[in-house]
Chains A and B, each alone.
Chain A
């Protein structure tokens, strides 16, 4: 646990996260515009609500779309050994996780519409008590890893 893991996740992860951030930012944007329009018609709605929402939108958008994805990508690393899976993530609090192969109960890959656009998918690793994720791997790579891990994890397990 002294060295960080060697592999990085796919570079397109940044684009996928940015796209998600753009879409999420639309919600307060629409609300803000709606509030400003509404303040023209109703006296009890101050136009400051709309302006506040718009300022919030801009700040949130800059942070989640331009600052976080890069930092997050730089931090995200993983490495698959024969005996264990080693993951590192976290921007402010850096977490390094070790999951032994013999504790792995099942492995899944998951792909939402945004990840699909960039041909990426997320690898989920479950033990009896915990769940771990490697987000945004290239599709083939995730599938390969899934098969590789489930192969390695296929050791005889005693009760949990």
Chain B
């Protein structure tokens, strides 16, 4: 269809940077040793040779890397000495994403990432730098004449395939919402900081009676300066947090196509990502303790695979900030498969409360006893921890609940922030009911069910559920008639 093409020459720069970044740590010890001996000349020579090798290898590998678009596949050939030829069939391609970092944007280039359905990520390919138009051609070529292959994919949505020029539902974040997202994101750290501040301020009043007037004046003076510095630092950190969120999620747009969700975001680095609907295992809504009172939440999905190891987050962000009462509309618009009603949650029975209080306070209580024995004057600290843990336990008990709606199971849980998970019957991998002797007497039981999330299991657990309720869910889950 077309002759083999090379990447844009700028990709040489990328591979040089990448190689240096990868190898710098293995050379560091040698460099430090040599520096200690003052052997500057050798280091300089070594560095020059090393740099020359990297540059030559990068240029050669750029020269030997070609890609070729064919009827319904892409063919990639690479390798300087060992030639590796790879053909990726269009049928197997799950997503093609165009991503640009700053260097890409200066030269009007883009990176093309091709992901396949397999769980082996070595199969995936990426063209590190091609011109923007070329990237779009590759994308459209491999993506948009899929009609021939639709029979081996989902059959349910086939009829909508015929309309290609249709306007797809999308949602775009406003700068204001982004600002709120940023200012409430690192929230817990900030509150902790504020607590620390209030505490240190109290401290300044205590030594007033203990020290002489003069030294006290100097001391409090210094402390005030310290406090001002601390406040400034906090504000700067906070501001940086907001800035980071804004840069990362600028123009966050999520669009729903027939079989996938498509996300674009970023101010400096423009990122695209595609979430095939088939890979979605569950949809969740997280409300951190800062956002919950303000009525805001974050939407996320659990997907079966993904860029493992690339980001530490366990789930994939669907939308950075949403008003809680709009979450339902959001799902109805973009993921109607996961639409839910606003029925009442089935909560835990009163008998469950003692378990929650005890589970949370047991360790602080033990600590209190230890402190009471050894450092009686500090007793207030563990006692406060006991009270806080007890309050948390109570709120956990109040939050936890479930709902059954058709083939959807909704579970609401709380570790610190409130987390609502919406999962389909067919995505639950197994179902467990756990009881010990006390549970049995009180007709309580613990539910434990697992979904797949990035190659590992995520367990959804409801502790001390009413036995009858658990059996209802078990009957709903069971495939037996």
Contacts and interface: CB of A to CB of B under 8 A. Distances in A.
Contacts of A2: 471
Interface stretch (A11-19, A94-102, A142-150): A94-102
A93 B434 contact: yes
Nearest to A85: B430
B303 to A, nearest CB: 10
Interface in A122-160: 127-130, 132, 158-160
A80 to B, nearest CB: 12
A159 B440 CA distance: 38
A92 interface: yes
A60 interface: no
Contact of A128 (B117, B429, B437, B474): B429
B478 interface: yes
Interface string B274-293: 00001101000000000000
A86 to B, nearest CB: 9
A2 B467 CA distance: 10
Contacts, number: 84
Contacts of A81: 480
A84 B480 contact: yes
A27 interface: no
A130 B430 contact: yes
Contacts of B89: none
Given A129-B450, A129-B451, A132-B430, A94 B279 contact: no
Interface stretch (B48-56, B161-169, B249-257, B452-460): B452-460
B479 A84 contact: yes
B204 interface: no
Contacts of A95: 432-434
A52 interface: no
Nearest to A157: B426
A128 B426 CA distance: 12
A1 B474 contact: yes
Contacts of A96: 432-434
A129 to B, nearest CB: 3
Given A1-B474, A93-B436, A129-B456, A98 B430 contact: yes
B275 to A, nearest CB: 12
A159 B429 contact: no
A131 to B, nearest CB: 9
Given A1-B471, A98-B477, A129-B452, A160 B304 contact: yes
Contacts of A102: 426, 479
A103 interface: yes
Contact of A97 (B432, B435, B451, B452): B432
Interface string A94-114: 111111111100000000000
A160 B279 CA distance: 8
A79 to B, nearest CB: 10
B434 A90 contact: yes
A46 interface: no
A94 B434 contact: yes
A84 to B, nearest CB: 5
Nearest to B467: A2
Nearest to B440: A94
A83 interface: yes
Contact of A98 (B435, B451, B457, B474): B474
27 contacts: A1-B471, A1-B475, A81-B480, A83-B478, A83-B480, A84-B479, A90-B434, A92-B437, A94-B434, A94-B435, A94-B440, A95-B434, A96-B433, A97-B430, A97-B433, A98-B431, A98-B478, A99-B429, A102-B479, A127-B450, A128-B304, A129-B430, A129-B451, A130-B450, A130-B457, A158-B426, A160-B304
Give 6 nearest A-B pairs by CB, closest first.
Answer: A129-B457, A83-B479, A1-B474, A127-B429, A159-B278, A129-B452
Given A92-B437, A128-B304, 17 more contacts: A84-B478, A84-B479, A92-B436, A94-B436, A95-B432, A95-B433, A98-B477, A99-B429, A100-B430, A103-B428, A103-B429, A127-B430, A127-B450, A128-B429, A158-B278, A159-B279, A160-B279
